[in-house]
Structure 1
Amino acid sequence: MTGIVIVLFVYQRQPLPHWPFGLTINAYISVLAKVASAALLLPVSEALGQLKWNWFKAKGRPEKSKKMWDFELFDNASRGPWGFFILLVRTRGRSLAALGAAVTLFALAMDPFFQQVVRFPEQWRVQSTNAFIPRATTYNIYAAGQRMIDGQAAMSALTYHYFYDNGTRPVTSGNSHRIGTNIPLACPSSRCTWSQYESLSVCNRCVKNTELLEFRCRHSTLDWISTPTVAPDSSGWIYPNGTACGWWLKADEPLLMTGYTTDIFTNYTGQVLLSRSQPLYDLFTRATLSGYASKLNNTRNPPAHIVTVSGEDTQQIRLNSTPIAHECIISWCVKGMEVTLFSGAYTENVTDVTYNRTLGSDPWKRWRIVGGSGYQYELDNITHVNILGIFDDIFPSTYTITNTTDLATAVLRHNQYITKGLQSRILTYNPFLYDNITSHLDNLAVDMTDIVRSAQGSIEMVQGPALDLVSVVIVRWEWLSLPLGLLGLTFVFLIATIVRSSLEQDVGVWKTSAIATLLYGLPDDMRKKLPSVKDKGTPRSNAKQTRLKWLPGTGWRFSGASALSPSSLRAHRTPPQTDFR
């Protein structure tokens, strides 16, 4: 038992040990449990053998005699559980021998209890190798005077899918988590984790701004029609004046966001403005839109700050239904993240976001953010201007349809700063036409962040632990209660038997010895009283009815009979003559 307890104490909550010859903890416990069980029963058996003599010893009154059959019960009790059970019933639990019988019966359950002591669940344990994940401290499209074409091309290709389609892949983003990543990380095990760390990132925020729209019919310049006229000097576009009804953005110079023309017999008759995405600044001067009460104007030099409004379809617009309207701002930021990579699935939990909220008058000044950790993140002017140019391609843009309700014929006009050649296309999917623009731009910001965190020369690797599932030893000490309890009861039983035997000094320490039985066998006259004839039963059946007692130093006698005479005792103890020829 000590060997089992020591090994369990040493290996509890430790990885499963690898012992020589494939030996396992279960095998170790099983072997020692068998030894413990056998060793436990040895003193019980010997003590019961000793108590047998105490049971038959009689002093004084003859009614203290016991049935002859009890002798066999005590012998059987020292050999197996059934004998222990019969002895327990015979003594009715009022004898010290009953304690030994109870110990032996309960010892039958020791093996199941030992089997329940340990279990080997799998737990994540840190390995000797480390995992690495990149974080961006800056983002440069120029390095050592050379333009990093790959980085710029990757950013342009990415935004193309979000401007003119439904994005690159479905991800869950925002401040919760997302699955999937394209960043170059290293995870040498099945699970890697990185506690909170910061990285330069791209963030998106959108709010509904329907209350900043108003419905009216107004005569103004129709700067949204799909086919304007180029100026003679190619310096810009010439838009006709006309009347249009719809939802206008509240500003010093109101802008029609969704609506339709009411003029007839013109080259723009029947045109409907399905959707408009408008930057809240001038593309060339970066001056803010005068008179518009912005909800998100609290971040310095965002790559994009827009209002996007959609009437959903031609029928809704002509019914003057309230459109879908959002103000969105895509900003540089610093994200605090907790990342886990498990079986190839990347999970990122954004714990906090820091913005540069120090507004300045010069939009081209070097851009900086001080993160929550106090580290300074910055972006150079050239990189920032190039990122601005990517968003200038799609903001502003208008989505129009003419004399039909078939959205497949709608035309998106973009790159409106280009004055040579009309930039337009027919889309299979226009992401700015639906009410999921917030999640759409969230996904764009996440993918842009992946590119920033993958740019060579502007990232550093963050170290984290690599974990693997390891079988560990969990010890359930409560299952040792029965074995340890039986160990204690056996000790008490042994000591009690020793004390009782020492108090009765005239009883020898015979225990289970057969010699004592031979020395104190029944005399001939007593054996004749236990015939084995049919009409009187077998000796064993008669033994159940015959009562006797044992006189130390003298021998056996029947209850109520006179003591054996010395001559009969000597005759009984005289060994038979044997011819050894």
Structure 2
Amino acid sequence: MANTIIFPGVDSSWLECPSEPSRGHQCSKHGNNTGVRLECYEKSSDESEPDRGESSSVLLRRWLPEILAQLGGMLCLIAIFVLLWRADNRPSEEMYLGVTLNTILAFLTSLAKVAFLVPIAEGLAQLKWIWFLSPVGRPAKYRPLLDFQVFDDAMRGGIGGVRLLFGFKGILASFGALIMLSGLFTSTLTQQAITYDVRKALSSQANDTATVDRATAFSTYDGKMLALTPYDTLREQRAIFQGFFTPATERVMELRANCSSGDCTWPAYGSLAICGGVANLSTVKNPGLHDRLRKTTEKRLKLLLQTSNITAGSAGYGNFYIAIDKVFPVIIGLLDEPTGAFNQSVTELIVSDSFIAYTEEMVSTSSDDDAVADMMAKVKYLELAFWWCTKTYETEVNQGQSVTREVSTVSQVSGGLNNTLNVAWDPKFYPCYATGQCNDTYGATEFNLEKPAAAADSVDFTIHVWTSLTASMLLASTMLDSLLLDRTRGVVASNGGGSAKAFAFSLLGDFLTTELPSAEKRLADVQTVMSNAARSMTNLVRDGTTRLAKPESVVRGSVYAPQAFVKIRWEWMGMLTTQLVLTTLFLVLTVVATYMSRVQVIKSSSLATLCALDEETRRDIGGIGDGVDQLEKRAKKVPVRLERRGDVEDSASGAVVWLGIPEQERLDSRTW
């Protein structure tokens, strides 16, 4: 154990160590311009000089609470990252141990914050002692005694940390104060890591439904007869005219799906459907077809002109031909056999095949042979066909809006069809219909269609022949029509079911229009009318509310509801992570600084603080009875430093501390 003797104020270069020191002691002499300090210490058993600082094992043991606190903070950080990783992209309604994610994050963040503040506070407390210690081998430095209070205030954070930071009590102390001050923002910034992203998610409500009708069979046969419900025929005609009289610039929407939440999706599914198409018969090289079309159109045109004149006269409109002498004729009639304009697979499935005759320029209203012959030279023909097909659909309801997309279409008989489906081509239908013998003629005859591509399920699509022929008869009655239009496309006369007007607008232009559309636009608009009518009839076939269609299954989809999902913004965890890493660095540097300074590990010991100041200095600064403000003023003017003195021994290291002022610097000596 070291003993020190100082002789201040004299020339003591002649001082020597005792001539015969005891065997257990070793002497050394240090001189300066004011005196000589004689240090004696006990020799170790191996004749080597002992380390005047604490041993590394003792040092680490005394820092063990801070090391454990720092490890605890790291464990909290790991727990936070695991928690957020598991919660990321999961519904926010999920609870963890009965509490919300934000509550758990706040709790773990608080633990981590406490964990890194413990090493910072104790490290600043230890640096307080080092701050008053003169560096080894350098001139003595004295600090204002008030610095002791500044360090103590900084340990509590807040304003004290700011005073220490701006007062600059060393790089390491400023570093620690900065970390401590950053803790003010830890909780707020960490909470920003959790955000909530509203998305559509599968609903967990048991009463939520997502259904859409699709037809897998078309039959009203009950085993004996067709079992039609009241007004089935009106429903079919309504569907046809809804498609016909939808403007060519609009589109008939597919059957609306049932979605309880307003947001649903369905897998791709197949269904029976009606397809519609247009062919330009004027370009078909079939003289026999053209001859039949010309004869049929000529008869219909003469009849229309004659009946129009009679109707005008009997209605009191005066002489019809005086008011209007030129018209646009539009005539729709049935085709009694296939034209060859469509391929064979489509032709086998046609349920309605009609032609439309029209002229692109006005013709005379005269019904004499020369005038009619002149008209017929200007007539052009289109074929209008409806046929059975299967379609693949994708349906989605988004915010209450139902959207169905056609993915694919197949028009192909799978097998078993030995009869035409078009009533105009079947010579057996009208005789059995008139006599009520169609059950004997057709009975339960059915056939299957090819399944559409890309459908998620696999079902059969079946059509009853007798039911299909009955529907074809209703279509045929609707597609018989003719009319005359004046110069501004107003109807002068009509004779039939009323569908010709819809096609007249597409071929000749809208009402009060005098300009003829281009050939490409005319053909495209007629195709749109046919597609709209086919889509409207398909909706009727798919709709389960009518017995004309018997869908064997209802497609069930997935119901989605707006739901908040946790979205983790990992960059906001950088604050806490950086604080813990920097705290570890600060703790390591503080331990190293303590070891290099050979200062006891005192940290924030209140007992050490009470014993550190010597009696002379306490008398100079006065007591607390004068008030704290006066005490601080005097402490600013009292410079002190930390000394290793031999009158107080530490059994662990032999390095002890004492705070004193330079004028009263002294050491209790031990003589030989």
TM-score, structure 2 as length reference: 0.62
1:386: how far off? 1.9
Name the residue aligned to 2:331: 276
The match for 1:372 among 444, 449, 452 is 452
Please tell me whether the aligned partners of residues 481 and 494 of structure 2 are also in contact (alpha carbons under 8 angstroms): yes
Indicate whether 1:337 and 2:411 are aligned.
no
Please tell me whether the aligned partners of residues 393 and 404 of structure 2 are also in contact (alpha carbons under 8 angstroms): yes
Name the residue aligned to 2:642: 550
Aligned residues: 493
Partner Cα separation in structure 2 for residue 73 and residue 449 of structure 1: 87
Aligned 1:51-450 pairs, distance under 5 A: 51-58=127-134, 59-91=136-168, 95-128=171-204, 129=206, 131-150=210-229, 151-163=232-244, 165-166=245-246, 172=251, 178=253, 181=255, 187-206=259-278, 221=298, 223-225=300-302, 227=304, 270=325, 272-279=327-334, 281-282=335-336, 287-289=337-339, 294=341, 299=346, 300-308=348-356, 328-356=384-412, 363-364=420-421, 368-372=448-452, 376-401=460-485, 405=487, 407-414=489-496, 433=507, 434=509, 435=522, 436-450=525-539
1:496: how far off? 3.5
Indicate whether 1:48 and 2:124 are aligned.
yes
Indicate whether 1:519 and 2:622 are aligned.
no
1:357: how far off? 7.6
Decide whether aligned partners of structure 1 residues 138 and 514 sit closer, same or farther in structure 2, where only a CA change above 3 A counts: same
Aligned AA (2:220): I
Decide whether aligned partners of structure 1 residues 44 and 522 sit closer, same or farther in structure 2, where only a CA change above 3 A counts: same
Give deviations 1:351-407, integer Å, cap 9, x for gaps. 111112899996349654211357542322212222322232243432214xx5465
Indicate whether 1:484 and 2:541 are aligned.
no
Give deviations 1:270-314, integer Å, cap 9, x for gaps. 3523433455x22xxxx134xxx8367761332234454666896
Partner Cα separation in structure 2 for residue 513 and residue 326 of structure 1: 106
Aligned AA (2:496): H
Q: Where is the helix percentage greater, Structure 1 or Structure 2?
A: 2
Q: Secondary structure, in 3 states, of the residue corresponding to 1:303?
A: strand
Please tell me whether the aligned partners of residues 162 and 431 of structure 1 are also in contact (alpha carbons under 8 angstroms): no
Decide whether aligned partners of structure 1 residues 39 and 266 sit closer, same or farther in structure 2, where only a CA change above 3 A counts: closer
The match for 1:464 among 549, 552, 557 is 557
Partner Cα separation in structure 1 for residue 363 and residue 572 of structure 2: 75
Aligned AA (1:127): S
Q: Secondary structure, in 3 states, of the residue corresponding to 1:467?
A: strand
Partner Cα separation in structure 1 for residue 634 and residue 664 of structure 2: 20
Decide whether aligned partners of structure 1 residues 266 and 154 sit closer, same or farther in structure 2, where only a CA change above 3 A counts: closer
Decide whether aligned partners of structure 1 residues 106 and 306 sit closer, same or farther in structure 2, where only a CA change above 3 A counts: farther
Decide whether aligned partners of structure 1 residues 62 and 438 sit closer, same or farther in structure 2, where only a CA change above 3 A counts: same
1:139: how far off? 0.5
1:268: how far off? 13
Decide whether aligned partners of structure 1 residues 268 and 491 sit closer, same or farther in structure 2, where only a CA change above 3 A counts: same
Partner Cα separation in structure 1 for residue 538 and residue 186 of structure 2: 61
Decide whether aligned partners of structure 1 residues 426 and 73 sit closer, same or farther in structure 2, where only a CA change above 3 A counts: same
Please tell me whether the aligned partners of residues 211 and 555 of structure 2 are also in contact (alpha carbons under 8 angstroms): yes
Q: Which moved more, 1:508-517 or 1:480-489?
A: 508-517
Q: Which moved more, 1:340-349 or 1:299-308?
A: 299-308
1:14: how far off? 2.2
Q: Secondary structure, in 3 states, of the residue corresponding to 1:340?
A: strand
Unaligned runs of 5+ in 2: 1-75, 286-293, 308-318, 366-374, 422-444, 510-521, 624-628, 645-655
Partner Cα separation in structure 2 for residue 394 and residue 102 of structure 1: 89
Q: Percent identity?
A: 21
1:207: how far off? 6.5
1:524: how far off? 3.1
Partner Cα separation in structure 1 for residue 580 and residue 165 of structure 2: 19
Q: Secondary structure, in 3 states, of the residue corresponding to 1:224?
A: helix
Unaligned runs of 5+ in 1: 231-263, 416-423, 532-536, 568-581
TM-score, structure 1 as length reference: 0.70
Q: Secondary structure, in 3 states, of the residue corresponding to 1:195?
A: coil
Partner Cα separation in structure 1 for residue 552 and residue 572 of structure 2: 54
1:432: how far off? 5.0
Please tell me whether the aligned partners of residues 411 and 427 of structure 1 are also in contact (alpha carbons under 8 angstroms): no
Partner Cα separation in structure 1 for residue 586 and residue 145 of structure 2: 25
Name the residue aligned to 2:20: none
Partner Cα separation in structure 1 for residue 167 and residue 320 of structure 2: 120
Partner Cα separation in structure 2 for residue 377 and residue 425 of structure 1: 30
1:483: how far off? 0.8
The match for 2:668 among 566, 572, 577 is 566
Of the two, which has the highest radius of gyration? 2
Please tell me whether the aligned partners of residues 166 and 431 of structure 1 are also in contact (alpha carbons under 8 angstroms): no
Aligned AA (2:338): T
1:120: how far off? 1.8
Q: Secondary structure, in 3 states, of the residue corresponding to 2:389?
A: strand
Q: Secondary structure, in 3 states, of the residue corresponding to 1:336?
A: strand
Q: CA RMSD in A?
A: 4.5
Partner Cα separation in structure 2 for residue 197 and residue 137 of structure 1: 11
Please tell me whether the aligned partners of residues 411 and 426 of structure 1 are also in contact (alpha carbons under 8 angstroms): no
1:197: how far off? 1.2
Q: Where is the strand percentage greater, Structure 1 or Structure 2?
A: 1
Give deviations 1:398-419, integer Å, cap 9, x for gaps. 2214xx546544223226xxxx
Decide whether aligned partners of structure 1 residues 554 and 512 sit closer, same or farther in structure 2, where only a CA change above 3 A counts: closer
